[in-house]
């Protein structure tokens, strides 16, 4: 069952889909943004974008592209969360990380060995290290690039200049990392820029000259990695991809939804946020179709609003499961009679003019 509104007035779901199709069909450059949805919703959104010559962008695209830029330019050695939990005897945490970003990693390895943790520039997040033996080096996140560069130099036994941390602590950390049987560097691209991530991945590569070390980026929420994978296999590109010229084109600047809206290039937005009632960050007024949970605080009321279920909570879903590091089917934890994003998008697609018969 779906709860739907047009200009704040409660309507049948079919009427909401018809109005959404009318707005999108009349648009010169529609944008499908947010994309906080499961794999079924992501696939339906990309199919709809192809049909409309629209652009697609995820709400966490900036974070995704920080890691992707490094993969594309320099390469990255990564492992899975399960491998890290079971095998890693040394962890290198880089920058601010929430304690729940690495659950279970503060305990020992599967064979009973103690796990050593070196945390570079945790900032206020260092509170999350309680209960674990953590060596903290540096505090201010702004110092992180210099500390990683100095750590690379120490690992390579090259001289290190003046630093915001003690040289003895840096040398001890370098020795600790080099003594790992299986080390893992963990970071969140939400807190680090691409150049810092590239430098950290360079340190991982350096350590592999004498031991086994790998990386583990912490994924953003709202099924960002799942949508990234769906977008990849359907278009060959990550989000921030457009279909305006009849083919998929990826450009992180051109197809940034926030820029398209604020510049006036986009004239209609389909906003999707099924995991939480998040509203778009822009304030410019333009026709908006919103598929969210209840309670989203919009700057301006959407023209069309459909309340959708939460994947994996209200209805079954396939999504990226961070703890496993892969796509998985997730049974609904508390099933409710709510409609999925994929079903709403199917209704909108069916109401577009010129829809071919099934």
Burial class (CB in 10 A: 0-12, 13-18, 19+), 264: exposed
Complete domains list, the chain, with CATH:
3-60+222-351 (3.40.50.740), 65-218 (3.40.228.10)
Q: Is 303 helix (H, G, I), strand (E, B) or coil?
A: coil
pLDDT score for 99: 66
Question: Could you tell me which residues are beta bridge partners of residue 134?
Answer: 117
Contact 290, 36 (CB under 8 A): no
Contact predicate 309/340, CB 8 Å:
yes
Q: Looking at residue 2, what is its pLDDT? A: 59
Q: Are 217 and 66 in contact (CB under 8 A)?
A: no
pLDDT of residue 358: 47
H-run or E-run covering 213: strand 213-218
Residue 131, pLDDT score: 47
Residue 109: what pLDDT? 64
- Please, what is the average pLDDT of the chain? 91
Residues of the chain with pLDDT under 70: 1-2, 99-112, 125-132, 355-358
- 325 with 82: CB under 8 angstroms? yes
pLDDT at 124 (0 to 100)? 73
Task: Quickly count: other Cβ atoms within 10 Å of residue 329's Cβ.
Answer: 12
Whole-angstrom distance, CA of residue 339 vs CA of residue 346: 11
Residue 207 in contact with residue 215, Cβ under 8 Å? Answer: no
Helix (H) / strand (E) element for 272: namely strand 268-273
Q: Which residues is 268 bridged to in the sheet?
A: 30
């Amino acid at each position: 069952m779906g709860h739907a509104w047009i200009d704040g007035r409660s309507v049948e779901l079919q009427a909401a889909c018809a109005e959404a199709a009318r707005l999108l069909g009349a648009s010169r450059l529609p944008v499908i943004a947010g994309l906080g949805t499961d794999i079924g919703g992501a696939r339906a959104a990309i199919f709809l974008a192809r049909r409309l010559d629209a652009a697609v962008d995820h709400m966490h695209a900036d974070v995704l592209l920080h890691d992707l830029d490094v993969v594309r330019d320099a390469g990255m050695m990564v492992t899975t969360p399960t491998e890290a939990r079971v095998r890693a005897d040394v962890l290198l945490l880089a920058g601010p990380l929430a304690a729940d970003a690495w659950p279970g990693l503060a305990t020992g390895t599967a064979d009973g060995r103690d796990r050593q943790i070196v945390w570079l520039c945790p900032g206020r997040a260092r509170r999350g290290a309680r209960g674990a033996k953590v060596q903290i080096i540096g505090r201010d996140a702004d110092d992180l690039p210099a500390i990683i560069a100095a750590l690379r130099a120490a690992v390579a036994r090259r001289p290190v200049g003046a630093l915001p941390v003690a040289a003895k602590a840096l040398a001890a950390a370098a020795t600790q990392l080099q003594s790992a049987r299986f080390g893992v560097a963990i970071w969140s691209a939400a807190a680090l820029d691409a150049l810092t991530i590239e430098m950290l991945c360079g340190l991982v590569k350096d350590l592999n000259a004498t031991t086994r070390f790998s990386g583990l980026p912490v994924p953003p929420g709202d099924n960002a990695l799942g949508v990234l994978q769906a977008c990849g296999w359907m278009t060959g590109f990550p989000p921030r991809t457009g279909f305006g010229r009849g083919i998929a084109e990826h450009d992180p600047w051109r197809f940034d939804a926030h820029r398209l809206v604020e510049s006036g290039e986009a004239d209609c937005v389909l906003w999707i946020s099924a995991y939480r009632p998040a509203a778009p960050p822009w304030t410019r007024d333009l026709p908006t179709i919103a598929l969210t949970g209840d309670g989203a605080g919009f700057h301006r009321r959407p023209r069309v609003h459909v309340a959708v279920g939460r994947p994996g909570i209200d209805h079954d879903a396939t999504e990226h499961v961070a703890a496993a590091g892969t796509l998985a089917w997730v049974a609904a934890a508390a099933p409710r009679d709510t409609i999925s994003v994929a079903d709403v998008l199917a209704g909108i697609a069916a109401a577009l003019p010129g829809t071919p018969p099934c």
